[in-house]
Amino acid sequence: MTTLADRTIAALRTTHDELAAFVRGLDAADLTRPSGCSEWSVAQVLSHLGSGAEIALATLRAAQDGEEAPGQDFNHPVWDRWNAKEPEEQAEDFLAADADIVSAFESLDAGARERLQIKLGFLPMPGSVALVAGMRLNEAALHAWDVMVAFDPKATVGRDAAGVLTDLYAGPLDFLIGFIGRPDGLDPRLATTLRVETTDPENLQGLTLGETVGFSDAPEPADVTLALPSEAWARLLSGRLAPEHTPPSATVTGDGVTLDDLRRVFPGF
């Protein structure tokens, strides 16, 4: 049986392979282009992914060895070292570090994927492999888009990653929505539960907007329906669905809530 952890790790591999192939074709000038992250160049995005991969690998190894997760005294020197690299070195070292964390997740057998608990300093309880690999996929897939969009304004999140992320957001990563959602971005009079219909791949969810933001069962009937590709859904939730990057198939039907309202609720991070 294919589990959510299995699907997440497979999507991590696809995301890595696609981004790595793209990065290998970039030259020095390409690496200094502004990325989809407003304050980072392409190389800086890759540096962030590389340092994150190094920290994630140390965290995974600690869990496997039954040790405490590395803390800020480990993380800060890693960030400082990556930030000090030249752009071409950041890109080259990203390729190796990202390959290492993907391979480490792939090496987990079925038992470990089901039972291993991984301590994270910012969560009160250890996380499952699906949760921790899912957090890495969320970061990798969205930052891969940040790199790609620097060269193509119609860039999309990879289909495999988008499909898995849709399930993760309403599953082990549901806490992220409460963290990144800004309910004060919506007029309280527009509070509602949206019916969210995603395609490629298809999925159906409910998104409650009110004093808090969170997932629910899809309402039937619904006052407001949001329909969009799964990859655009991932980008909307992460503040990456500006009008110029919104596919024509993304629509909101019903009274009240608009795409611009949703962009204010999910401004990005």
Cβ-based neighbour number of residue 79 at 10 Å = 16
Nearest to 46 by CA among 27, 28, 30, 31: 31
Check pLDDT > 80 for residue 123.
Answer: no
Q: How do residues 54-94 score in pLDDT, each as one tens digit? A: 999 999 999 999 998 898 999 999 999 999 999 999 999 99
CB within 8 Å of 64: residues ≥ 6 apart: 112, 116
Q: How far apart are CA 83 and CA 41, in angstroms?
A: 12
- pLDDT for 170: 94
Per-residue pLDDT band at 45 (split at 50, 70, 90) = very high
Query: Do 229 and 200 touch, CB atoms closer than 8 A?
Result: yes
DSSP string, 145-210: HHHHTTT-TT----HHHHHHHHHHHTTTTHHHHHHH--GGGS-GGG-EEEEEEEETTTEEEEEEES
Residue-averaged pLDDT of the chain: 96
**Across residues 105-127, what is the average pLDDT?**
93
**Across residues 216-245, what is the average pLDDT?**
96
**Across residues 140-144, what is the average pLDDT?**
98
3-class SS of residue 235: helix
Q: How far apart are CA 266 and CA 269, in angstroms?
A: 9
Q: What is the dihedral of CA 130, 132, 137, 140, to 10 degrees?
A: -170
Q: How do residues 6-19 score in pLDDT, each as one tens digit? A: 999 999 999 999 99
List domains and CATH numbers for the chain.
4-155 (1.20.120.450), 178-265 (3.30.1050.10)
Of all helices (H) and strands (E), which one includes residue 7?
A: helix 4-23
- pLDDT for 1: 74
Q: How do residues 47-56 score in pLDDT, each as one tens digit? A: 999 999 999 9
Please give the structure tokens belonging to residue 255: 């009274």
Query: Do 200 and 228 touch, CB atoms closer than 8 A?
Result: no
Taking the alpha carbons at both ends of the chain, their separation in whole angstroms is: 35
Strands 213-216 and 203-209: antiparallel
Per-residue pLDDT band at 38 (split at 50, 70, 90) = confident
- pLDDT for 269: 77
